[in-house]
Structure 1
Amino acid sequence: MIISQGSTVAITYTLTLDGGETVESNVGTEPLTFVQGEEQLIFGLEQALEGKKAGDSFKVSVAPEDGYGAVIEEALIEVPLTQLPEEARQPGAALTAVGPQGQELQGVVTEVGATTATIDFNHPLAGEVLHFEITILSVE
């Protein structure tokens, strides 16, 4: 059986970036199970899996536009330090904010100045080429 719209698929994967840094891997743990075509994976990975079958192993690189998107400059927000908790006033601090429609937004402090801080609300992998090493365990 090949992977097509509606297939339930189980895979193992390792995700690395251009510099070779491993971001995530489920090799040796529980497989990732998803339904093809239900947008449970990034677009580029779902496209690469289409037509493959159980037992296939392959590598694929996914461009930012087919992954987590490009870095959006408007998602870099400068705020007064007085609006941040004391413990968040350092680069790398993770924050949760409420967006204009009440949605929860995850951000990371990227710069701290004398009176302001810059928070990046882009996905952490935005702008990155994603390199996957995939093994398809099952297709139903």
Structure 2
Amino acid sequence: MQVADNTVVQFNYTLKSEEGDTLDTNVGNTPLAYLHGHKGMLEGIEAALTGKNEGDSFSITLAPEDAYGERKDEMIQRVPVKHLHGAKNWKAGMMATVHTEQGERQVTVAKVGKFMADIDMNHPLAGLTLIFDLEVVSVREATEEEIAHGHAHGEGGHHH
């Protein structure tokens, strides 16, 4: 079966930097599952998977604007340390959670003082050209419930 809208796709990936360094992979673990055509995946990956078949393996390169966007300097903000959640002692490079008007958000601590911290609200992969090695493990028709919920259920997908 071919990858098309309203199919559930399970795939393995290895994410690499432009320099070839592995940044993340799920190879050796449960394949990632998503509902194709429902904006549950990076657009560039979804476009590359369209029309592929079970067993296909290939690589794609995504520019920042097709992946996690360009880095924006205005996304670095100064906040009171007491607003950082997830640890007691903060150091630059650590991930924290902050409460915003849009809900909880994961941020990177850029610099920390006694009372204030500079946090980077850019996605950690923003500004990077990324290489994805993809392997389509399985493709199946989505159930009516998955289509109604807008995501894949079961192994590698969402569990209710």
Q: CA deviation at 1:117?
A: 3.2
Could you tell me which residue of structure 1 aligns to residue 66 of structure 2? 66
TM-score in terms of structure 1 length: 0.86
Runs of 5+ in structure 2 lacking a partner? 141-160
Any residues of structure 2 matched to 1:56-135 within 5 Å, and which? 56-79=56-79, 87-88=89-90, 90-101=91-102, 103-112=103-112, 116-135=116-135
Give the secondary structure class of the aligned counterpart of 1:96. Answer: strand
Q: Is the counterpart of residue 36 in structure 1 residue 36 in structure 2? A: yes
Whether the 8 Å CA contact 1:98–1:104 is kept in 2: the answer is yes
CA deviations on 1:88-129 (whole Å, 9 max, x unpaired) are 2x211222111123x101111112468753210111111111
Moved over 4 A (4+): 80-86, 113-116
Whether the 8 Å CA contact 1:91–1:110 is kept in 2: the answer is yes
User: Counterparts of 1:70 and 1:127 in 2: how far apart (Å)?
Assistant: 4
**How many residues align structurally?**
138
Whether the 8 Å CA contact 2:83–2:98 is kept in 1: the answer is no
Q: CA deviation at 1:78?
A: 2.3
Name which of structure 1's ranges 92-101 and 60-69 shifts more when overlaid on structure 2: 92-101
User: Counterparts of 1:14 and 1:121 in 2: how far apart (Å)?
Assistant: 25
Change (3 A) 1:60 1:80: same
User: Counterparts of 1:136 and 1:81 in 2: how far apart (Å)?
Assistant: 44
Whether the 8 Å CA contact 2:83–2:99 is kept in 1: the answer is no
Whether the 8 Å CA contact 1:44–1:63 is kept in 2: the answer is no
Alignment identity in percent? 39
Change (3 A) 1:32 1:114: closer
Give the secondary structure class of the aligned counterpart of 1:46. Answer: helix
User: Counterparts of 2:26 and 2:88 in 1: how far apart (Å)?
Assistant: 36
Q: Give the CA RMSD over aligned residues.
A: 2.1
Give the secondary structure class of the aligned counterpart of 1:87. Answer: coil
TM-score in terms of structure 2 length: 0.76
